[in-house]
Every structure is written in C-alpha cells, then in structure tokens.
Amino acid sequence: MQVTIYHNPACGTSRNVLAMIQNSGEEPLVIEYLKTPPSRAELSDLIQRMGVPVRSVLREKGTPYHELGLDNPDLTDDALLDAMMAHPILINRPIVVTDLGVRLCRPSETVLEILPNPQRGTFTKEDGEAVIDAAGQRVDKPGHE
C-alpha cells in the first residue's frame, strides 16, 4: 500500500501529519505540492474522492484568497479550481491518500482515520500536544468524547 501526502514543509500541521504517517511505520510518497502541484484533473479527483465541496479545500490564510475575490459565493467549482491551479498556495494541506481513503488532514489527527497501520509509539505534536500515549492509544482532548 502506498501512502501519499501532498505536503508543505513550512506548515506545522503538514509536518505533524507526515510524522504521524511515519510513526505508523509507513514511508509515504511526499509531494511538495508548491514545487510540484497536482494537475487540474488530479486535484479534481482528490476532491471528489474526499467527498467535499471544492470550496472546502481552499486555503485563506497566507494566500491571495481575498485579493482574488474567492469569497464570492457565486464562483463555480471550475473557477475555484482555476484559481488553485494558478496559485497552488490556495490548496489547503496536507492532503493524504491511502487505500483507505483521501482526507484533508486538518486537524492533523484526521490522518489516523485512513492509516493502514496503528501508531507504533507515543506521538506528540510540535506544539507539545500529546496525540498517542505509550500504549498506542489516542489521547482524548478535554471536552471531546
């Protein structure tokens, strides 16, 4: 099974997801999508496989989202895809692909839903938040079931 991550190494969430993939024993195919963006057809396929609206994959923070008027609700999916093709920074990240599904892994723990193997040890995010304990179990956040 191949695990693929569309990754931005400058993004903490993306780095955490990559580390969780590796903590499960997988060495993923890492696609730095700002250097090697997916084709329009690939991106459209990823979004369709995620089962989410195109708009939900748009990133606002640190992008030309507002300058390009992408907050206009009348824009079509094709127009939004055109914008992401012209400005790959608009593609939210990280997107992870496994045989178990495709997810936009925000929050980073979302990746746990589609990894083929369990975590092999404790995992703590870069910010110090514990995600996986010594028994390999997910650490519940206060206020979450």
The domain ranges of the chain are 4-116
Task: Put the strands of the sheet holding 101-104 in their side by side order.
Answer: 29-32, 4-7, 95-98, 101-104
Residue 16: Cβ-neighbour burial (10 angstroms; 0-12, 13-18, 19+) = buried
pLDDT above 60 for 99: yes
> Average model confidence (pLDDT) for the chain?
94
Q: pLDDT category, 80, cuts 50, 70, 90?
A: very high
> Cα dist. 10→13, 62, 94, 132 in Å?
9, 12, 11, 23
Taking a C-beta distance cutoff of 8 angstroms, is the pair 17, 95 a contact?
no
* Catalytic residue list: 11
Alpha helix locations (H) across the chain? 12-23, 40-50, 77-86
Secondary structure (H, E, C), 96-107:
EEECCEEEECCC
Residue 18 half-sphere exposure toward CB, CA atoms < 13 A: 19
Q: Which of 52, 54, 87 is nearest to 68 (CA)?
A: 87
DSSP state of 90: G
Residue 142, pLDDT score: 57
Asked whether residue 140 carries a pLDDT value surpassing 50, the answer given is yes
Q: What superfamily would CATH give domain 4-116?
A: Glutaredoxin (3.40.30.10)
The pLDDT, as a whole number, for residue 71 is 96
Q: What is the mean pLDDT of residues 81-95?
A: 98
| H or E element, residue 31 | strand 29-32
Q: Does residue 127 register a pLDDT over 90?
A: yes
